[in-house]
Structure 1
Amino acid sequence: MDISLQNPLLATYAVAACVMILKVVGMSWLMVWRMIQEKGGYRSPEDLRKTRLNPNPDPKQIEPNEQVERIRRIHQNDLENIPFFLVAGFLFILTDPPLWLAWLILYGYVASRLLHFAAYFTAQTHDMRANLWTVGSLILTFMTLWSLVAALAA
């Protein structure tokens, strides 16, 4: 296998992986922005110290804030799922699958995670989020089993 971005399989993985990494990093920034906007949702007692960014600390700032907690839950869900995609996706492309299948699987996972984010961010029902999570989970399972079978056959 050609380990360069000239290889369409590796380039497909690189695009999908980069989008997912940027999504996880973006969630951190979104959480910070939301905490600034809400002037709360902080987690640690030291966050109540008077600073340039928090000139008027208030004990209520470390109480749960639903607007911040929603972003925190989305971020936690990403941290529980996307690292597995990064590993499983790389192992999957090492099996040299057909390019059409790699596009379908890798970009399908990305789409499921972005749609899951949109559903969670806009407070859609658990059923909607669960359906989108299930698509991503099934894709992870498929890639992992595909890679396992290929590795055992090698």
Structure 2
Amino acid sequence: ALLAYHLANRAHLRPWEPARSDAFYTAASTEERLAAMEASAAAGQAVHLLLFDRTDDSLVGTCNFTNIVRGAFQACHLGFSVAQDREGRGLMRECLLAATHFMFAEHGLHRIMANHRPENTRSARLLSSLGFEREGTARAYLKIDGSWADHVLTSLINPADA
């Protein structure tokens, strides 16, 4: 399902993700990524969620909480994507409402950070609607689709800690 999702959305996700070689879009590479995801989750460093359509069980989105840091920080990074043919239906908003609550309530995190490119207005609107607050802009923050790109930095604080 994950390989089919990436193949079907290759062009759609290209402007928002690191450059991907053709090898990324193979079963072997997908199996390696799934094993790495399982290992990072088992180590308490990440939570990886896949969003499936209720009617046909097709994979329609991904949601990843990574770089989980404990101690005084109690925070993580959020990354997400939704299939091009499912944009604008509220699926990712529904997913992220439940997922951020889960990370706060079940994992005890204080802060979830999500970064997006300034031109990604869909992500900006979605994050804002969920209560993420803009904290600034990081210049040349991540190498996306082969070029260093600025990113808007946002965060959501656990309401129980506010």
TM-score normalised by length of structure 2: 0.24
Q: Which one has a bigger Cα radius of gyration?
A: 1
Could you say which structure has the higher strand fraction?
2
Compare relative contact order (CA 8 Å, sep 6+) and give the higher one, 1 or 2: 1
Could you say which structure has the higher helix fraction?
1
TM-score normalised by length of structure 1: 0.25
